[in-house]
Amino acid sequence: MTGKTSTARSPAAEAAIKAHRAKDMTEALRLYRSELELNPDDALILSNYGAALSETNDFQGSLTALKRAVRVAPEMADAWCNLGNTLTHLQDYRGAVQAYQQSVKLNGNHPLAISNLAFAIDQLGDNPALARKLHKMAVRLDPENEQTRTNNALSLLREGNYLEGFREYEWRWTTYRKRLGLTVPTWQGESMPGGTLFVTTEGGYGDMIQFCRFLPQAEIVSSGNVVLTARAELLSLLRHSFPTFTIIEEKGDIEPAHGQKSGMGQSLAQVSVMSLPFALGATIDSIPMAGGYLAPPPVVIAEWKKLQAEALLKEFGAEAEERLKKSLHIGLVWAGGAHSEVREAELANRRRSTDLSTFTKLAQYVPDSVFYSLQVGDKADQALSPPAKMRMIDLTGHIQDFSDTAGLIANLDVVVAVDTSTAHLAAAMGKPVIMLSRYDQCWRWLRGKVETPWYETMRIFQQPAPFDWSEPVNCAGRALKKMRKAKSQGKVLITC
């Protein structure tokens, strides 16, 4: 939304802008529509209305309003910037670049337009040098802006510049910390002998799984007692994998334990699990335990082995034992969690998720394989009607937490998944993982890479265009075919 208003603006228009700034989107949209009925060519209202529609995820409606805004007032830099934002959400990055370029042409000191232009160029991936130059320019113009600094951080991280990137990534906390008025000091890698360092949850399950590997290093560097807070679903797995650490359930309190308690020592600090790489000065060459660091209790693996054997007997009868030994056992995940409470996460989930039917060709590449659903959530019931010729076993009804998921994965040969916590889990166990990644893939997978420094056994096949899963699925199929051939020799081969 633009922050500029005309002195001739009507009371209804001023009320709409006020509601928009207050994030009362229902009221803002109602008032914008009323004003546009009276003044359909009011470019400022059209621009703000388009921005509001975008903020409520009505991108097609937003596109219509913003195209009209720039047609009515082609000199309005903010309208072009808003148009670029909507085109970015629609993954029309070339269109977004053109819109942002027009905004910058009209206002060369528009830091958000410059930053967002750099972000769109980053997504295209064809001119990283220009993107880097523009990110620096945006930060120079508005060094205290959280959005431009975070865009800059994500660009650096995509390029593998972890030292500078994770330092910039700390800007994501700026508004949050100011709003909560935190008093517990944030740990930045200093020694605190005898003190207590609380490592807190951030992001989703996959983020905790990826970054908990830094716990041992944090303990050594801090010389303190490290306490991890984690969601209940992860407790069993993390406690078994890191038995010497205190791991407690996360209750949503940002200030751990509400202050100093008996036995905590003289000093107390907190750090988000995703801030550990910054605090520890991690580089792309120093990521620890890429070969694996998580494991469920042996008794859990044994329980799932029994469940697997029973399911195979039910599915294949007398052939069950032969299938267990010779078939490739493949876990599948085709969708992530909705995360409707976090808008950006919800939108990313729409782009990373697909349907089980997308994986149809995998059964054609390895027709004698056995597939296992690892899918939970809204799309889990698709496993009840698998594609033709895909022999599917669904044991997800027995899953209670991540230890159970890990127990099932431990009895499989490979996991094929979109970018989800299950992909992280399997790779953190050292299990072969073929990850199918969206076009605008997450910064952590670097740019144009099949391998990743985070997980030795993961291979990443990225969409060549938005929502085009055909190439990643074919790459996965060819990789599975090679794995099937190599299984009898005990080899792991997941290149495409």
Q: Do 18 and 104 fall into the same domain?
A: yes
Whole-number pLDDT of residue 218: 98
Instruction: Examine the domain organization and report whether 195 and 113 are in the same domain.
Output: no
CATH number of the domain where residue 482 is located: 3.40.50.2000
Q: State which amino acid sits at residue 463.
A: Q
Same domain? For 145 and 211 the reply is no
Q: Say whether both 329 and 240 belong to one domain.
A: no
**Whose structure tokens read 């390029």?**
159
The DSSP secondary structure of 324-367, one letter per residue, reads HHHS-EEEEE------TTSHHHHHHHHHH---GGGGHHHHHHST
Rounded distance, CA 137 to CA 124, Å?
A: 19
User: Is residue 228, in this structure, part of any structural domain at all?
Assistant: yes
Residues 69 and 123 in one domain: yes
Q: Are 146 and 187 in a shared domain?
A: no
Judge whether 45 and 34 are in contact, CB under 8 Å: no
Last residue in a domain, options 225, 247, 279: 279
Residue 289 forms part of a structural domain: no
Bridge-based pairing of strands 225-230 and 433-437 is unpaired
Is residue 112 a part of any domain in this protein? yes
Q: What pLDDT score does 332 carry?
A: 98
Dihedral sign, CA of 69, 70, 75, 78? Answer: positive
- Identify the burial level of 467 via C-beta atoms within 10 angstroms of its C-beta, where 0-12 means exposed, 13-18 middle and 19 or more buried: exposed
Residue 131: other Cβ atoms inside 10 A: 24
Q: Are residues 75 and 192 in the same domain?
A: no
Residue 165 sits at the vertex; the CA angle it makes with 163 and 168, to the nearest 5 degrees, is: 110
* AA identity, residue 208: M
In tens digits, the chain (496 residues) has pLDDT values of: 543 434 467 888 899 999 999 999 999 999 999 999 999 999 999 999 999 999 999 999 999 999 999 999 999 999 999 999 999 999 999 999 999 999 999 999 999 999 999 999 999 998 999 999 999 999 999 999 999 999 999 999 999 999 999 999 999 887 555 444 456 889 999 999 999 999 999 999 999 999 999 999 999 999 999 999 999 999 999 999 999 999 999 875 444 443 444 444 567 999 999 999 999 999 999 999 999 999 999 999 999 999 999 999 999 999 999 999 899 999 999 999 877 677 888 898 999 999 999 999 999 999 999 999 999 998 999 999 999 999 999 999 999 999 999 999 999 999 999 999 999 999 999 999 999 999 999 999 998 899 999 999 999 999 999 999 999 999 999 999 999 998 867 765 555 5
Burial of 51 (0-12, 13-18, 19+ CB in 10 A): buried
SS (H, E, C) 367-398: CCCEEEECCCCCCHHHHHCCCCCCCEEECHHH
Alpha-carbon torsion 299, 302, 306, 308, what sign?
positive
* Domain end residue (candidates: 122, 147, 172): 172
Cα–Cα distances (Å) from 440 to 110, 122, 461, in that order, read 24, 9, 12
For residue 345, the model assigns a pLDDT of 83
Cα–Cα dist 425/399, whole Å: 14
| Residue 409 lies in domain | 298-489
Q: Could you tell me if residue 362 is inside a domain?
A: yes
- Determine the pLDDT at residue 495: 52
Helix, coil or strand: residue 26: helix
Whether 423 contacts 332, CB under 8 Å: no
3-state secondary structure of 227: strand
CATH value at residue 78: 1.25.40.10
- Verify that 128 and 261 share a domain, yes or no: no
Q: Is residue 260 domain-shared with residue 207, that is, in the same domain?
A: yes
Q: What is the pLDDT of residue 346?
A: 87
Burial class (CB in 10 A: 0-12, 13-18, 19+), 88: buried
Q: Are residues 167 and 205 in the same domain?
A: no
pTM, full prediction: 0.92
Whether 400 and 435 map to the same domain: the answer is yes
3-state secondary structure of 199: strand
Question: Does residue 286 sit within a domain?
Answer: no
Pairwise CA distance, residues 360 & 365, whole Å: 10
Examine the domain organization and report whether 372 and 466 are in the same domain: yes
In 183-311 the beta strands, taken as DSSP E runs, fall at 196-200, 225-230, 246-249, 268-272
The tally of domains found in the chain comes to 3
Is residue 177 included in any domain, yes or no? no
Q: What is the pLDDT of residue 363?
A: 97
Residue 252: the pLDDT is 56
How confident is the model at residue 267, as a pLDDT?
Answer: 76
Determine, yes or no, domain membership for 472. Answer: yes
Is 467 among the domain residues?
A: yes
Kindly state the DSSP code that residue 443 receives in the 8-state scheme. G
